[in-house]
Structures are given as structure tokens and as C-alpha cells.
Amino acid sequence: MSAVRVPTGQPVPALRIAGLERVYGSIVALSGVDLEVRQAEMLTVLGPSGCGKTTVLRLVAGLEQPDAGTIEIAGRRVTGPGGSVPPERRRVGMVFQDYALFPHLSVADNVAYGIRRDPDRAVRVAELLELVNLPDAGDRMPHELSGGMQQRVAMARALAPRPDIVLLDEPFSNLDAALRTQLRGDLREILRAAGASAILVTHDQDEALTLGDRMAVMVRGRIEQCDPPEIVYGEPATPFVATFVGTGNLVHADCRLGVGMTRLGPVRLVGASARIAGGALAVIRPEHVELEEAADGPAEAGAWRVVRRRFTGSEILLEVEAPDGLRLWCEAGPAVRRLRIGDAVRLRLRDVETVAFAPSRTHQPAAAEPAPVAAEAVVER
């Protein structure tokens, strides 16, 4: 792609957003959003619906104007104090949630729409249709295509003018589950092959985790964390992130010298949470816990019991409850797959690294509408 590089060799980011704010009447859609997308990087933005993630894309595309903040695309300032570049001169490619194909134009004409001045556009269109694996669809009309094909045409159309950044607004939300998984892989390859920098916003955490080189978690108009997916999962920055991305149990821990003592045993604390001293909430993932079947007898009166069971195909998650009412989601290893609801179990913590949140941060309430997984996570009372 047309990577603009400053002479010193430091690459200019494809996109840099600083202090972005957007208010609709009395509703604050974005408050102080900072983001950066590096060259040829895919940044995914994950958040519950209504968190403002689509607004970010629309502001970058210039379809709406921010109330404060600046946006730079490939080193060019497009919004900020002193005016705004109109959408048609921003060099962004946008893939809309409903694809927004032009119904009166053939597939080839749709793809060629943004490059009508290019003398070699026929070649470019053929190249792109090849890239999105629709080499023979050029003469067809959008309404004749399946949802997945329409989505790929929308990709080709957005990529045709070689944009500085591609904006993808929930590109898979209108597709069924099987197709979604396949197209996810395709999309990743298409963008890699085109060398494009991209932002993809989604409310699906699998999508955000698998597709992003880095991912940003957003709630109520703020970015909670922006890191590689492994870090977001392993070292969530806030309780919201811990429960929204993946299944997270928050368990009380007495922290000192980088170790948190929970009722299940000690955990090693990493990052900033290594410095916490005193009571905090530690993040315990299901795979951090080892389950063991307990003999059902009077000796086990104080044992945990299985209260819910969730089979996902590849793994089994069990929710267990302590006599005092604390509940945890745990992964059931091969040895304990036969466990049923009501069975007594013993828990043991594996030797794990995790993070904890000191009280000052923990009373940040969870999202208004957390994802189903987050709804089942428990904050210790």
C-alpha cells in the first residue's frame, strides 16, 4: 500500500486518533478516545452494542463530525481544530454492516465505482474479484448474490481505490454462524494480501480475539484497554474487560509482594497488579482451576457442588457453588467430564499468573448490557 514514511525510518501510523469526543444531545457517545493503527495492522474494536464503536468508524470516514479531538490518516490530519476533510478525500475504504452495495450496478461496476478515473480499472477490478474469490461474478447484480458473496464484493469495492485504511463495521453480523467462521479466515487473508491497514468493530469476542493483531475493548464511549489479544485475555486492564472478554471469575484475594492469596490458594500477580497491597479482586479463568471429583459423604459437607453445566463442543464448563454461595466457572478436564449437576467437587488452583484489581478500581460497574458470558461471571460479595 502507499505507505507514507518519514525519512527517519519511523513508519507513520495508518491512523491516529486523539481525544475524540462525540455527543448526541445529552448522550455521550465517545469521551476521550485515543487509538492508533499501525501500517498493515488489523485492529479490532470489541464492545457491547451501543458502546460507540461504530461512531468511531463514522468519524474516521468523515460521515460525522466529532465534537473534539483529532484524527490523522497516514499522517494527514483530516479532522481537528481548523476544519475537516470531506469523506470523498479521506482515502478510507468502508465495509458497511449491510454492505450497502449499489443495487443498480453490476458487481464489476460496484467494484469499479471508486476508481472510475483509473485507465486500468478493468484490470484492477478483475484482480480484486480474483482476490475475493469471485472471479466470475462481475456481470451479476447484487440482489442475485448470497450474503457471503455480497460481503466479499463490498470488501473488493472498498479495497479498489487502495485506501490508506479499511474500516469494517460488523462485517459478519448478517451471516450465519458456519459461513462466519469461514469468511473470517478469508477476510484476514484478503487484507494481508492487499497489505491493508484496517479497523474492524464487532460485538463478537471470538471475532475480535482471532482477527486482531491488537484489540481494543470499548464500553460506554471509552477505550478500556488496547493490547494484543493474548494480553487482553491474560492481563485484563479492568474488571469489565476481565468479565467481557472470555469467562472470568473475580475472586477476593489478599495481595502482598506480587502474590494474591485467595480461598482456593495463591496466584502470582503480574503487571501493575504486582504492586497491590491489601484486599483486591483477582481474575480466575476457568482453565486456572483444576476440578476433582469428591466422594459424596458427610466428610464433604463443606464441598463445592456443580450447579450448571455448559457443553460447547470442544470443552465443558461447569459452574460450581460453595456452601457460602460463591460461584465459579471452571473447565472440566478429561478426568471429570462425567460430572453432573449436584455432584460434589474439590477445587485446586493451578500455578498461574493473573491480575487483580484494587478496590478503587473495582467499583467501576460492569457494562449495562454485558455479553452472556460476562453475565454469568461473579463478583464476590
Partner 1 sequence: MQPLTAPSGLPRSAAGRGLRRWGLAPRARPPLPLLIVGLVVAALSVLPIVYLGIRAAGTDADAVAFLLRPRTIAVLGSTVALGLIVGAGTIAIGLPIAWLTTRTDLPGRRWWTVLTVVPLAIPSYVLGFAFVAAFGPRGALQSLLEPLGVQRLPDVYGLPGAACVLILASYPYVLLAARAGMLREDRSVEEAARTLGDTRRMVFRRVTMPLLGPAIAAGTLLAVLYALSDFGAVSLLQFDSFSRAIYLQYRATFDRSLAAILALVLLGLTLVVTFGEARLRRRAREFAGRPARRPVESVTLGRWRWPAVAFVAAVVGLALVVPAVTIAFWLIRALGQGETFRVGLEPILGSLGTAAAAAVLATVLALPVALLVARHPGRPGRIVERVSYGAFALPGIVVALALVFVATTALPVLYQTLALLIGAYAVRFLAEAVGPVRATLARTGLRLEEAGRTLGDGPVRAFARLTLPVVRPAILAGAALVFLSVVKELPMALILGPIGFETLATEIWSTTSEGFYARAAGPAAVLLVLSAGAMAVLLRDDAR
Bridge-based pairing of strands 353-354 and 265-269 is parallel
Out of 96, 233, 304, 357, the only residue in the binding site for partner 1 (CB under 8 A) is: 96
SS3 labels along 175-222: CCHHHHHHHHHHHHHHHHHHCCCEEEEECCHHHHHHHCCEEEEEECCE
Q: Which residues pair with 278 in a beta bridge?
A: 255
DSSP annotation of 5 reads B
Site for partner 1 in 58-77 (CB under 8 A): 61-63
Q: Shortest gap between Cβ of 33 and partner 1 (angstroms)?
A: 20
For position 143 contacting partner 1 by CB under 8 A, the verdict is: yes
> Measured from the CB atom, is 93 or 234 closer to partner 1?
93
DSSP annotation of 105 reads S
- Tell how many helices (H) and how many strands (E) occur in the chain: 10, 22
For position 90 contacting partner 1 by CB under 8 A, the verdict is: yes
For position 246 contacting partner 1 by CB under 8 A, the verdict is: no
> Measured from the CB atom, is 162 or 327 closer to partner 1?
162
Out of 29, 51, 74, 92, the only residue in the binding site for partner 1 (CB under 8 A) is: 92
> Measured from the CB atom, is 105 or 326 closer to partner 1?
105
SS3 labels along 305-344: EEEEEEECCCCEEEEEECCCCCEEEEECCHHHCCCCCCCE
DSSP annotation of 365 reads P
For position 161 contacting partner 1 by CB under 8 A, the verdict is: yes
For position 103 contacting partner 1 by CB under 8 A, the verdict is: yes
Q: Shortest gap between Cβ of 90 and partner 1 (angstroms)?
A: 7
Size of the site for partner 1 (CB under 8 A): 29
Out of 50, 75, 106, 113, the only residue in the binding site for partner 1 (CB under 8 A) is: 113
Q: Which residues pair with 198 in a beta bridge?
A: 42, 166
For position 108 contacting partner 1 by CB under 8 A, the verdict is: no
For position 334 contacting partner 1 by CB under 8 A, the verdict is: no
- Which amino acid is residue 59, in one-letter code? L
Q: Which residues bind partner 1 (CB under 8 A)?
A: 61-63, 86-90, 92-94, 96-98, 100-105, 113-114, 141, 143, 157-158, 160-161, 167
